[in-house]
A = this chain, B = another copy of it.
Amino acid sequence: MLLLRRCQRLTGCGCLTPQRAQASPAAALSAVRLASGSSHDQRSEHPGHSPSWRQALAGLLAGTGAVLAYGLHHHKAEQTDGISVHAKAQTSPLPIFSQEEVTKHRTLQDGVWVTYKGSVYDITEFVTMHPGGDKILLAAGGALEPFWALYAVHNQEHVLDILSEYKVGELKAEDQKKQQNLTSSDPYSSDPERHPVLRVNSLKPFNAEPPPEILSDSYITPSAFFFKRNHLPVPQVDPASYELQVEGLPGGVLRLSLEDLKSRFPKHTLTATLQCAGNRRSEMNTVKQVKGLNWGIAAISNATWGGARLRDVLQAAGYSPDVAQWARHVQFEGLDKDLTGTTYGASIPLNKAVSEEGDVLLAYEMNGEALPADHGFPVRVVVPGTVGARNVKWLSKITVSAEESSSHWQQNDYKGFSPATDWDTVDFKSAPAIQELPVQSAITTPTDGTVISRSSEELTVKGYAWSGGGREVVRVDVSLDGGKTWQVAQLRVSDKGQDPEVSPPPGRAWAWKLWELTAPLPPEAHQLEIVCKAVDNSYNMQPDTVAPIWNLRGVLSNAWHRVKVKISDDEE
């Protein structure tokens, strides 16, 4: 089981966060041992698949291809005992199968066959040992391409290597052609153009961050540079036919067009910083590999959002304080969905949604223009002070409910755990869904490895600082000696030449502060370890080091940020 989870951590696809599977002795006995020259010294028992595990997968996988690829990773990682039972494909010429024959193999009884690039694979044995269980059968009898197209990260050599062991034949030439027509469609083909300066962590789905030095150039991040965090293809939405459903309230279902949203409710604007839970995950990877996109320090950005207040819309749909007697959460669903029709979803606590001080927006504008496609056109939720994952884009449905969203991203992802918790011991029910984020700051310039001439005499350090829950950053301390001594940075709350943002009321500081420190170069030093740490108005501080906050999913990475620079004695 350990290996089973270890391989997940290597995919970095962000699509998988399995719960602890309960080992079934029967399943363990039927485990298929696989051959490999791998030096792994641990053997995996194939776990039985508890209902919660299946359910988790059903909610989370965003494509059966992901399940399959997950299993294939697993398979690879598990090649431990030197016994091969899969030599069969290599010993005789391979038969030709028609698509019709392939299609007959869609169950464990009949065998589970799939095709990929013109070859036919019998993955029955693979499926029996695979924790994806029922879900993987969605691909049975057909082509893998549409599934894998959702998660390009699975299209890797070692995954294909593993698949090749299951090859049982070739697909009839005629059927290959038909399939090419069917499978050539790329679900990401209608994704928008992006600015080339972005650093891409994943193309499909698109996840990218700006270079750090761009972040601190402007208090309001231009939309093109604002970090992109998509879980699925960007849906194309016709604003004329767009409809938002509001459910769960005594008034019945309220349906709103985009025009309704703009005309029936007062427009509010607010400047709010959004941050991905995985911002700075790469620093956790330096401690021990975690699962997820390898974000640098720029999965955070600041924009001005315009839209209707969620509170106003809920009231129009029949919300009254009586509802709070039984309701606890407000769920959101996006229009972005996987091949099984599962949409992205999340929820926030009801009191955040309905409080006048919660400032939750159904935003249709970003930085004074219609929302860009990557940021949720035509409507997204902006939940200021709350982790990016709850700011659901391409919003289609709002549900007031007694329960949290059952979405994978609410239940089995975006939670924090102890560094002691691994994929064997993790119980996703034991931790609350991340809502408010902890205090954060990072150095955007200079970047790690910069060489500074001693003749410049001074050094300017810049960065950002922000805290969740509307807590205002009140101070940023900067050290040039690895944290031994500190200086207090200057804070900035507007773009140069612009009026500063009006000081926010207590508990409603939704926007970051940029900061800057200019200090003399220490005369004797040849290297500086620059460190920053922020303090918010609850006087929460960032932890000193990464290892004690390490967690298997690599979220909530907010230790002191450290950058090393060299001082060169060369003349300029």
Contacts and interface: CB of A to CB of B under 8 A. Distances in A.
B418 A477 contact: yes
Contacts of A355: 357
A515 to B, nearest CB: 13
B419 A474 contact: no
A538 B438 contact: yes
A506 interface: yes
Contact of A351 (B477, B507, B542): B507
A538 B420 contact: no
A437 B539 contact: yes
A12 interface: no
A556 interface: yes
A540 interface: yes
Contacts of A507: 349, 351
Given A475-B418, A488-B420, A542 B543 contact: yes
Contacts of A357: 351, 355
A535 interface: yes
Contacts of A421: 488
- The size class of the interface chain A forms with chain B is 35 or more
Contacts of A556: 539
Interface string A544-564: 110011000000101000000
Contacts of A539: 416, 434, 436-438, 556
Given A416-B475, A432-B537, 16 more contacts: A351-B357, A352-B506, A418-B477, A420-B485, A420-B487, A431-B475, A434-B539, A436-B471, A437-B538, A438-B540, A438-B541, A439-B540, A469-B538, A541-B543, A541-B558, A542-B543
Given A475-B431, A541-B543, A483 B437 contact: no
A436 B538 contact: yes
A97 interface: no
Given A432-B474, A542-B543, A488 B438 contact: no
Give the interface centre of A469, A475, A506, A545 by most chain B CB atoms within 10 Å: A506
A502 B545 CA distance: 35
Q: 4 closest Cβ contacts across the A-B interface?
A: A544-B544, A436-B538, A438-B540, A349-B506
